[in-house]
Amino acid sequence: MKKVLSTISLIVSLLLMMSVRGAYASTSSSLTLTNTRKGMHIHVYQIAEVRGDQYTYTEAFADATNTSVDLNHLKTSEELSAAADTLKGYAAKVSGIDVIASANQTNISHLKNGIYLILIDNYQDGYTTYSYLPYIIQIPNVTQVELSKYTKTTTSNKVYQYDLTKYWSGGSSYPETVKVDLYNGSTFEKTLTLKKSSNYSLSWTSTTQKNYAIVEHAIKGYTSSVKITNNGDTTHISLINTVNSEMTTYHAQAATPQANSTSQTMSGSQKNPSRTMTSSSTPSYESNKTSTHTKKTNTRPTASHHAVKTGDTTNVTKYIALFGFAGLMLIIIGKYLKN
């Protein structure tokens, strides 16, 4: 009799363990990256998590609240591109999931629900350099991404041009200088100073192709966003500052600005010293299930995004009932064994 009861106890325990495993498995997802190259360095960062019915930045990306990126209202390819370019600089300062591809397909597992940023280091193949654009995706809805958005250049005896220009959206009184941290991939290079007297512009050249990202030192009353475009051997980096509604005058001792949920699009002539822009509201996410990209150079990445789904789709009631039944059975079995 005791052997039978022991067997029943073991079966119940195994069922309980399998149920717990199933419940935990449903909270994470896997991502497949296709069109990868052997030796390619890939970095994946969770930039936002689901809280209630909205996305909020993770602790590692808390500083990104200084930006103009509204995580809950991203829809068009332009908005996604601006968000990826802007958050790319913040990723340089945090740890993520680092993967070295060994074939043309790479799998990444145990990803929690949220919004992720995918960055790829410049890939060198002989004299050819592949520079990949960043991707923003939503887990668990996006399960596969094709890494097909890149520029392809021959690096032998070439000189690369880089331009950085700052634009202002709103406001009328701007600081004399603005500090910007420059990163090549995850490596900090230098802090640049943009001067009002030079229309907040800088240009420089390099004999090697760089994978640049920038982070602006926070300016009181303004949020920031970044747009990076490649045109052959020239890379243009646009830094856009959007005024908060309560901001009226710039103060030299700038504190951390409050978050602004309005994204901006460029307009107007670059010859205007104030470099003003016109604001536009951003729509909410659309619902699709996968992210598929078509190979095309010098274009921005697009990824499918979806309305926030709060909580888990697991039938919690079923597991609670099973746990209760298993616990009751263990108590009964324990009493029989004791007698």
pLDDT digits (tens, 9 = 90+) for 305-334: 344 443 444 444 455 556 566 666 666 666
What average pLDDT score do residues 99-127 get?
95
What is the pLDDT at residue 177? 97
pLDDT given for residue 204 in this prediction: 97
Sign of the alpha-carbon torsion through 319, 321, 326, 327: positive
pLDDT above 60 (res 282): no
Choose among 71, 66, 75, 77: nearest CA to 53: 71
Q: What value does the mean pLDDT take over residues 91-100?
A: 94
Where does the pLDDT of residue 284 fall: very low under 50, low under 70, confident under 90, or very high at 90 and above? very low
- Letter for the amino acid at 70? D
Q: How high is the pLDDT of residue 172?
A: 83
Is 9's pLDDT higher than 70?
Answer: no
pLDDT (mean) for 50-56:
92
% of residues, the chain, pLDDT over 70: 64
User: What average pLDDT score do residues 215-229 get?
Assistant: 94
Give the H/E segment covering residue 73.
none
Q: Give all strands (DSSP E) within the chain, no chain letters.
A: 28-34, 41-51, 54-57, 97-100, 105-112, 114-120, 123-125, 128-132, 135-139, 144-146, 150-154, 160-169, 177-184, 187-195, 201-206, 212-216, 222-231, 234-243, 264-265, 278-279
Report pLDDT for 279.
33
114-120 and 41-51 as β-strands: parallel, antiparallel, unpaired? antiparallel
What is the pLDDT averaged over residues 191-205?
97
Residue 167 CA to its chain's centroid (Å): 23
Return d(Cα 301, Cα 147) in angstroms, integer.
Answer: 9
Q: pLDDT at position 154, please?
A: 81
Question: Would you state the pLDDT for residue 76?
Answer: 87
Model pTM? 0.67
The overall average pLDDT reported for the chain is: 76
Q: Where on the phi/psi map is residue 298: left (φ > 0), alpha (ψ -120 to 50), or beta?
A: left
Quick one: what percent of the chain has pLDDT higher than 90? 53
Higher local confidence (pLDDT), 229 or 287 = 229
Is residue 283 pLDDT above 60, yes or no?
no
Q: CA dist 156 to 110, 152, 159, 209, Å?
A: 41, 13, 9, 11
Least confidently predicted of 42-56, 82-96, 267-281: 267-281
Predicted pLDDT at 194: 97
pLDDT tier for residue 192 given thresholds of 50, 70 and 90: very high
At 303, the pLDDT band (50, 70, 90 cuts) reads very low
Over residues 258-269, the mean pLDDT reads: 30
Model pLDDT, residue 313: 42
The region of weakest confidence among 108-122, 195-209, 302-316 is 302-316
Residue 298: predicted pLDDT: 36
Region 14-43: mean pLDDT is 74
Per-residue pLDDT averaged across 206-234, rounded? Answer: 93
Please compute the mean of the pLDDT values over residues 136-152 and round it to a whole number.
Answer: 93
